[in-house]
Amino acid sequence: MGRKLFGTDGVRGRANFEPMTVETALRLGMAAGARFVRGDHRHIVLIGKDTRLSGYMIEQALTAGFLSIGMDVLLVGPLPTPAVGHLTRSMRADLGVVISASHNPFHDNGVKFFGPDGFKLSDEIESEIETIMESDPATHRAASELVGRARRIDDAGGRYIEAIKSTVPRGMVLDGLKIVVDCAHGAAYRVAPRVLAELGATVIPLGVAPNGMNINDQCGSTYPQSAIEAVREHGAHLGIALDGDADRLVLIDERGTLVDGDQIMATIAATWHDEGKLTGGGVVSTVMSNLGLERFLGGRGLRLERTAVGDRYVLERMRVAGCNFGGEQSGHLIMTDIMTTGDGLVAALQVLAAVIRAQKPVSEVCRRFDPVPQLLRNVRLPPGASARRVLDLSHVVRAILEADAALGADGRVLVRPSGTEPLIRVMAEGDDAAQVERTVAGLCETITAAAPVAAE
């Protein structure tokens, strides 16, 4: 069965509009609970969230749904997505839930699930949850005496902080390092500065005053200008810019230059390969990663396996291929020997470990390859237009094929619908920057003109 409610990373939408309503969240909690209630033991679901105003509303609705099914609920409050994955497994919960729309603006929200192993649910299990929702999840209600209980876990942040600190090499400290950390007014606003400070760094915190509506607002990984300016102003050694739920990051070197996920992957992969820690013979990333990364890894005898966009697909391929490292150009970095999902703080600490070992500045350690010219633009669709219908139009298909052929063997075109917004993403890369620019501009023009024709 195909999924209708779940997208590339859980359920997502504008808060207080379908599917992000109290009514749907209640049914979603009941259906997910029904899917994971197995056996006679007391079942536990752990719920975390970021700092969005609508998080209170969705949290209460989900909680009511789980309680009605007979699951006990542990509420951990604002914590990074990877913290919820980690705590779900370490606290032996049957299910973990994160209420977050990641890097999206505050008016969006979302729900994503972790299984008892701490990993995100598969497409198949999400489809099963949808099937229960489409029938009647109320048929799974618990008897009156078996209704669940809810309680808050006050030390959840501390547990996660200790787990993060344990990932650094023994004896490694950050004494003498000045680090800017931009928490995007999001889920890591408390824990990220504490982790770095407790490891000895001088911390310049940004984005640590959430008000429910400023998450990701001109800050964090999607707007790194604030961190760039702070690095230059304070003469910092490194800047770390997290997104709203802290499962991804970008870095800023001491010169104020951005370091994206591809360069971070190259840095960690090369370091781990040299230390004999990299498994599976390569790295898993998505179709968005730069050809320069693929060439860099190939030069070291490592392969780059590509997947569809979405960290869940990266993780699935990693598990099949036996790889312990993968990620996305956007800054999701997954290290399965350490955490069950992308973790911006863990990735930053791995880079810092490489910097400390090399005793060189970040600008040298994290510039592993020259990127192939790559350009990405988004075409926003008008109301009612279907991205899939646009991309199925014969003249659009023909334009994409012709553009890809024109770039030749040393270039490529990628056109895809966004999994989270009403956008079509148009990307091209190749050794000729001018040709790449012309290619993207031409395809965007074609798609823009075609969009009104494909209204639903």
Active site residues: 102
Q: Is 234 helix (H, G, I), strand (E, B) or coil?
A: helix
| Spatial distance between the Cα atoms of 188 and 103, rounded to a whole number of angstroms | 13
The first and second tokens of residue 195, run together, are: 């982790």
Residues sharing a CB contact under 8 Å with residue 406, sequence separation 6 or more, in sequence order: 435, 439
Q: Is 252 helix (H, G, I), strand (E, B) or coil?
A: strand
SS3 for 185-213 is: CCCCCCHHHHHHHHCCCEEEEECCCCCCC
The first and second tokens of residue 273, run together, are: 């390969």
Describe the strand order of the beta sheet including 412-417 as a list of residue ranges.
Answer: 374-380, 423-429, 412-417
Q: Residue 448 — φ and ψ, nearest 5°?
A: -60, -45
The first and second tokens of residue 369, run together, are: 């390859």
> Alpha-carbon Rg of the chain, whole angstroms?
22
| Spatial distance between the Cα atoms of 156 and 167, rounded to a whole number of angstroms | 17
The residue count of the chain comes to 456
Are 132 and 57 a contacting pair, CB within 8 Å?
A: no
Of 109, 101, 83, 85, residue with least CA distance to 194: 83
| Spatial distance between the Cα atoms of 239 and 249, rounded to a whole number of angstroms | 10
| Spatial distance between the Cα atoms of 131 and 152, rounded to a whole number of angstroms | 30
Helix intervals (H) in 16-54: 22-36
Are 97 and 84 a contacting pair, CB within 8 Å?
A: yes
Give the chain's largest Cα–Cα span. 69
The first and second tokens of residue 149, run together, are: 């209980």
How many CB atoms sit inside 10 A of residue 218's CB?
12
The first and second tokens of residue 11, run together, are: 């359920």
E strand residue ranges, 253-356: 258-259, 282-286, 303-307, 325-327, 333-335
